[in-house]
A and B are shown apart, each in its own frame.
Chain A
Amino acid sequence: MTDSDPVRLYRTVRLIRRFEERAIDLVRAGEIVGGIHPYLGQEGIAAGVCAALRDGDLVTGTHRGHGHVLAKGADPARMLAELCGRVTGLNRGRGGSMHAADLGVGVLGANAIVGAAGAILTGAVWARRRRGDDLVGATFFGDGAVNEGMLLEAFNLAALWRVPVLFVCENNGYATTMPVAGAVAGTIAGRAAAFGMPATAVDGQDPEEVRATCAAAVARMRAGGGPELVEARTYRFDAHHTFEHRVRLDYRPPEEVAAGRSRDPVDIQGARLPLSVRESVDAEVEAVLDAAVGYALASPAPDPATALEHLYASGLTARTGGG
């Protein structure tokens, strides 16, 4: 069943927030190489959408995907170990921040090619339902993806074949540095309308509003409805990628950033709980993340001799590159 418990919703938002802050610390400490795309500010979307789903439902995430994977139920310790490139990571150190995924909890990959995952999820949901499984899917993407032809093709396939996929657009206002106004002709909802898909806009900063809106859409889909689109308006609190901590890019006015940060999903959901409950959740989350950091840093790096492992599911072995 979907989970409308405000405490659990708060816990998920808080977990993602503190996970990301600790991950940024680990980037700065050199423990996470390659940096991350922080999900800070957008936590309410992953938390709200996944609270509207069941355990058996499927999702796909993005390069800014830590929140999706955590909200769907992956173990934060193995997630953090993956970011640190450790053999105990979700992907055995083969995926890293952009691809960290746990198929065991229904995350069919975190896909770093913008707009690519919608068609993959549509195929997966279609195939599982054809087999008789009662499930739906949710695919996350940003405002940049709405200009990718592949995603629009996926809208068409899902609508044409009535595959119950919730297309979740996390509109944070920028595709890397490109503002929506400079990139999107027409509207995001208008793209859905063109394919006969219902579209709803929600305040992505309010986890409960996201949850309630998505729960209603998911209920319609489970009742036999086709795909729907939810446009969650949000704001990215931090950099597109942590490289911006070193290289300042001038594309967001400081007053806009301040205004965006003033609507914090952690505070919005936290304000719905008694202070004592909030403090107790915070402490519990901190303990989980203390353990996660400890687990990740104590885990071994993969053996270089295993670099070609998992390249082929069939057991095929590739020639090595040496002379």
Chain B
Amino acid sequence: MPRLSYRRALTRALADEMTRDESVFLLGEDIRVAAANVTTGLLKKFGPERVLDTPLSEQAFTSFATGAALAGTRPVIEFQIPSLLFLVFEQIVNHAHKFPLMTGGQCAVPVTYLVPGSGSRTGWAGQHSDHPYSLFAHVGVTTVVPATPADAYGLLVSAIRCDDPVVVFAPAGALDVRADVDDLVPVPLGRGCVRRAGTDVTVVAVGHLVHDALAVADELADQVSVEVFDPRTLYPFDWDGLVESVSRTGRLVVVDDSNRSCGMAGEIIATVVERVRLAASPRRVTRPDGAVLPFAPALDRAVQPGREQLSAAIQLCLKDGS
């Protein structure tokens, strides 16, 4: 059983799709030398026309990709820094996302925006540590946050094959994950999975936090049976899969690396309580409202959702209503 790192899973997905489909090409900053260690080896294999290193012109090359997609290609843009998504939010939302509707279905814009290293990388401070996936779920751009190497491969492949824009957040906190992977296969967009079966409470964990949730579930195993649900795709969300889980456990805790207000956790809780009568008030563990990650490591960690907070939230949820 081969051991695969998260980063190499992304590399494999790019290489496999570029081999399979001539219309797939990459663009981004410093990708020829694989500064983010994701496009490694691809320039040599596919040449500079398909591994297109760009000037620092994020807005222009994001819309350049929109145009290339309108012309029948499938561009994949790598963004080195998650906060660059704020800079190109206009190009993605106002153009790539809106074109199919505004043209009455005359076109498709199949662009993949890949962010290897989203969220905190510890010590990269305020403008390099954001995790803005809730923004894209809010505007209705397909948004995936793979937690494992197998999902990193499978979801990136599905994103590239999707006829709509897709943002792929590869959390910095998951990039060093390695796993035994038997089969590298596409993972369908919009389908979550139960990472750990349990009976007392469903914990929804997003991205790298899946691994924290699994660790907390193990720590609490003698007190509570925790089911860990990994949505994998945040938009469209696998509501049926989650409702099935929560209907069995009757309790819900969400751990989400978004800012609290209007973050993904709020939407998950709202939708579940519309559909399931819970045994206890749901809980969420998130970044604070309006979080800007401070530089000092202790401060950086203090505003990220952590295992202790999750453990406390699970235990509160268990006490409530019992």
Contacts and interface: CB of A to CB of B under 8 A. Distances in A.
Nearest to A90: B104
A90 B103 CA distance: 8
Given A156-B55, A311-B101, A123 B67 contact: yes
Interface in B43-66: 49, 54-55, 57, 59-66
Contacts of A111: 95
B103 A313 contact: no
A156 B59 CA distance: 12
Interface in A158-215: 160
Interface string B271-312: 000000000000000000000000000000000000000000
A246 interface: no
A316 interface: yes
B107 A156 contact: no
A109 interface: yes
B231 to A, nearest CB: 15
A157 B100 contact: no
A102 to B, nearest CB: 8
A320 interface: no
B137 to A, nearest CB: 12
Given A90-B104, A103-B107, A120-B63, A316 B142 contact: yes
Interface residues of A, number: 46
Contacts of B66: 119-120, 123
A248 interface: no
Contacts of B90: 113, 116
A45 B109 CA distance: 29
A250 to B, nearest CB: 32
Interface stretch (A147-155, A232-240, A252-260): A147-155
Contact of B60 (A91, A131, A150): A150
Interface in B86-115: 90-91, 94-95, 99-110
Nearest to B88: A150
A313 B55 contact: no
Interface string A61-103: 0000000000000000000000000000111111100010111
Contacts of A91: 102-104, 106
Given A91-B102, A108-B67, A121-B67, A156 B164 contact: no
Contact of A92 (B75, B104, B110, B164): B104
Interface string A125-140: 1111011000000000
Contacts of A108: 67, 70, 107
B106 A314 contact: no
B99 A153 contact: no
Interface of A: 58, 89-95, 99, 101-104, 108-109, 111, 113, 116, 119-128, 130-131, 149-150, 153-154, 156-157, 160, 309-316, 318
29 contacts: A89-B104, A91-B104, A94-B102, A94-B104, A95-B103, A101-B106, A102-B106, A109-B102, A109-B107, A116-B94, A120-B66, A121-B67, A122-B67, A123-B63, A123-B65, A123-B70, A123-B71, A125-B67, A126-B64, A130-B49, A150-B59, A150-B63, A153-B57, A157-B57, A157-B61, A312-B164, A313-B108, A313-B110, A316-B164
8 pairs of A and B residues whose beta carbons are closest in the complex: A123-B67, A153-B60, A92-B104, A313-B108, A123-B64, A91-B104, A124-B67, A119-B63
